[in-house]
Each structure stands twice: as structure tokens, then as C-alpha cells.
Amino acid sequence: MADEIELQIATPERMLVQEHVAEVQVPAANGYLGVLPGHAPLVAELGTGFLWYQVGGRRRYLAVHGGFVEVLPKKVRVLADAAERAEEIDVQRARKALQRAQELLVKSALGVDPAFALDAMRRAETRLEAAAHK
């Protein structure tokens, strides 16, 4: 287990992952953060993106949005506002959400907040990207 790190991923609704992994890549607010066992401790804001971790020589993917990540030498704790495993993502629903967000962005001249529309687009694109790794 010296070459593994404990990974915990939770949302307010449920615990998604709790296992020992070889490495983790997390979408922090200012870019992706790669974590291996023995990483220096840190706390960072979680961004929107896909998170992957490697266990048993295989990568597993999740779409995550908002929250925080805590890194310790032997543990990574991700407390996400929202997260979905790649295999749980409804691709059709994600495509429709992306289309709605794009339509909102076009309507930004009509008083729709463009930041809201861009955030919705980012979330939908992330879900589709994570789902592509099923």
C-alpha cells in the first residue's frame, strides 16, 4: 500500500468512491492537479471537469463540479457540489443540457446571464467527456 493513496469522493447526497488508488487527477479551479502517494498537503477549490483515478491498472472517470479537494500524503478527499461516475451519465440528457446552455448563451443579449450559460455549457461538456470514457 506504500504505492497507493486513499481516495474519497463525496457529494452532499452520497459517497461515490472510497478506495485505494495508484494516482488521481483532479480538476482544480485553476487547472488540473495530478496526485501521487506522498504528495505535499494542500487544499484547493474544485473546478468543473473530469476527474480520473487509476486502480488495478485501469482508469475510472467522473464528472465533477464545484467544491474542494484536500490532499494529504496518504489521502485525497474530494468534496464536490456535484459528481457522477462516467457509467452513470445519461448521454442524451447531457446533450440536451448542452443544447439548452448554448441557446441560453445566444439569448444573453436578451438579459440571460452569460456566465450562467457558460457554466451550464462547461458542466454539460464535462459530463459528455467523462461519459466517453465508459
The answer to whether the pTM exceeds 0.85 is no
pLDDT recorded at residue 41: 96
pLDDT recorded at residue 37: 93
Residues 6+ apart with CB under 8 A from 118: 101, 105
User: How many distinct structural domains can be found in the chain?
Assistant: 2
What's the pLDDT band for 124 if we cut at 50, 70, 90? confident
Pick from 57, 113, 61: nearest CA to 86: 61
Q: How far is CA 99 from the centre of its chain?
A: 21
Question: Is residue 12 a contact partner of residue 46, using CB atoms and an 8 Å limit?
Answer: no
Quick one: 32 and 54 in the same domain?
yes
Q: How many CB atoms lie within 10 A of CB 111?
A: 6
Quick one: 14 and 75 in the same domain?
yes
What's the pLDDT band for 2 if we cut at 50, 70, 90? low
pLDDT recorded at residue 131: 83
Say yes or no to pLDDT of 113 above 90: no
What's the pLDDT band for 132 if we cut at 50, 70, 90? confident
Say yes or no to pLDDT of 32 above 90: yes
Quick one: 52 and 101 in the same domain?
no
Say yes or no to pLDDT of 53 above 90: yes
75: CATH: 2.60.15.10
Could you tell me the residue range of the domain that residue 58 belongs to? 5-86
Quick one: 18 and 61 in the same domain?
yes
Higher confidence at residue 118 or residue 28? Answer: 28
Q: How far apart are CA 60 and CA 132, in angstroms?
A: 11
Q: How far apart are CA 125 and CA 131, in angstroms?
A: 10
Question: Is residue 123 a contact partner of residue 104, using CB atoms and an 8 Å limit?
Answer: no
Quick one: 119 and 63 in the same domain?
no
* % residues pLDDT > 90 (the chain): 57
Q: Is 120 exposed, middle or buried (0-12, 13-18, 19+ CB in 10 A)?
A: middle
